[in-house]
Amino acid sequence: MDDQEQSRPPIRPKQQPPGRLLTLMGGSLAVLVLLAVSFPFWPADQQEAAKRFPRTSIAAYRSLPYFLKDLPKTLADPGKQALLASAEWQIIEAERYAILGEYLKAHDAFEAAVKSTTESIGPEAPITCLFLMRQASFEDSYHKANRAENCMRKALVGLPRNGPNEQVYLMAKVSLGRLLEVQGKYPEAMAIMLESLALAKDIDRQSPELCQENTKIVLRSLARCHIHNLEFDKAYDSCLQVLGICQQYPQNKDEIATALIDLGNLRTYPSDFVTAIGFYNQAMAISGENPEIYCQRGKALNAIGEYRQAIADFSFAIGKNSKNVSARHGRATAYEKIGQPEKAIDDLTIAIDCTNDRGVMQYQRSTIYQSLNQRHQEGRH
C-alpha cells in the first residue's frame, strides 16, 4: 500500500434523514414478508428444513401497515433507532436459523429481537406483539408448547381486541387455545376456544374467510377436548359445524373430505361402524386417492367382519405408502381372521420395523406364532 492510500481519510457513511430511515426500516421489515410469501419457491433442501417450522403466524404479516404505526414516534431518539434497527435484523436472523433447523440460535435471535423492540417502543407495541407471535409459532414447531404459550400470552396483552386488526387478536387467541389443548390443559383450552368462537362470529362480517378458517380450528380443537372428556355427541356436533363451513367452499375438496373423515372417526366411538363407513364413502367420492380414507374404512370393515373388503382397502393404502403402519396392522388383522397367518406375520413384521410403538403388534405376532406352532405339533400327532 503506498503513502497516498495510507493518508486517505476513512470513508464515513452519510447520516440518513428521518424520512429516509423510516423508508429503510419499512423496507427491511418488508423482507420478512418476502421471506414468507416466497416460501414455495425456495430450493428443495430449504423447503425440507422448513417443514418443521409451520407458518402459523404468517397472516399477521399482512397487517404490517398497522404494526409500522409506532415507528415515527421513535425516530427522534437515536438510541431507540439503533435498537429498532437491531430488532429488524435479529428477526431476519431468527427466521433464517429457524429454516435451517438451528433451534438454539433461532431461539436466541427471537429473544433478542423481542428485547430490542421492548426497549425501543415498549412491550405492548404492535411490532413487539408480532415478533412474540412469530416466536410462539417457532417454539411450537419444536414442541416447546409451554414457551410458545408464554409468548402468545404476552402478545395478547398488546394486541387490539377491537378495530381493523382484531383478526390478528383472534388468530393469537385461537393459537393460545390450541397450545393449551396440546399441553392437556383442557378446561382452560375450552374456555379460550369458546371465547374465540364468539369473537369470530362478531367479526365474521369484516373478513368472513379468515374468520371461518379460525372457526374451523376452534371447532376441531373443541371436538378433541370433548373426546378427552368422553363427550362424543358434543364432539360430533362440533365436527358437523366444521363440515358445514367447509361445504361453503366446494372447491376445497380436501377440506371437505377431512371433515367427513373426522365425522366417520367419531362414529366409531359408539361402535356405529355402518354410519362411519357411510361418511368414509362420501369422503372417497370427493377425494378418491386419499389413502387415509381407505385405511379408516378398512378398520371399520374389520370391525363388522368384512375382512376381504378391508384387505382391499388396506392394500390400496399400502400401495400408496408401503410403510403405512396403520394399514399394515389392519391388513394383518384381516389376514389373521380369514386364516392366512403367514401373510399376517409378514405385514406385522414390516409394520414393527417402521415404528417404535410396536408393543401391541409384537404381542399379536407372538400369538400367531404360538398358534402356528400348536398346529404343527397337532399335525405331527
Model confidence at 137, in pLDDT bands (50, 70, 90)?
Answer: confident
Residue 305 pLDDT: 94
Percent of the chain topping pLDDT 90: 31
Backbone angles phi, psi at 167, to 5 degrees: -65, -35
This prediction has a pTM of: 0.64
Helix axes 359-380, 341-353, angle to 10 degrees: 150
Same fold, 25-159 and 174-249: yes
Q: What is the pLDDT of residue 243?
A: 92
- CATH number for the segment(s) 25-159: 1.25.40
45, 23 contact by CB (below 8 A): no
C-beta neighbour count of 320 within 10 angstroms:
14
* pLDDT tens track for 190-239: 999 888 888 877 766 556 666 677 788 888 888 888 888 888 888 999 99
Domain ranges of the chain: 25-159, 174-249, 250-381
How many angstroms separate the CA atoms of 277 and 309, rounded? 12
Fold of 174-249: 1.25.40
Task: Tell me the pLDDT tens digit for each residue of 265-314.
Answer: 999 888 899 999 999 999 999 987 889 999 999 999 999 999 999 999 99
Provide Rg for the chain, Cα atoms.
27
Worst-scoring range by mean pLDDT, 3-7, 69-73, 84-88, 247-251? 3-7
In single-letter form, the type of residue at position 162 comes to N
Long-range interactions of 39-44: CB distance < 8 A, separation 24+: 42/99
The DSSP result for 283-301, as a single string, is: HHHHSTT-HHHHHHHHHHH
Q: What are the percentages of helix, strand and coil residues in the chain, rounded to 5?
A: 80, 0, 20
Give the pLDDT confidence of 27-42 residue by residue, as tens digits: 444 433 333 433 333 3
Q: Judge whether 126 and 66 are in contact, CB under 8 Å.
A: yes
**pLDDT score of 173 more than 50:** yes
**Structurally, what CATH architecture does the domain formed by 250-381 represent?**
Alpha Horseshoe (1.25)
CA dist., res. 155 & res. 171, Å (int)? 11
Give the residue among 270, 269, 264 at the shortest CA–CA distance from 295. Answer: 264
Q: Is the pLDDT of residue 51 over 80?
A: no
Q: Which of 330, 322, 286 is nearest to 306 (CA)?
A: 330
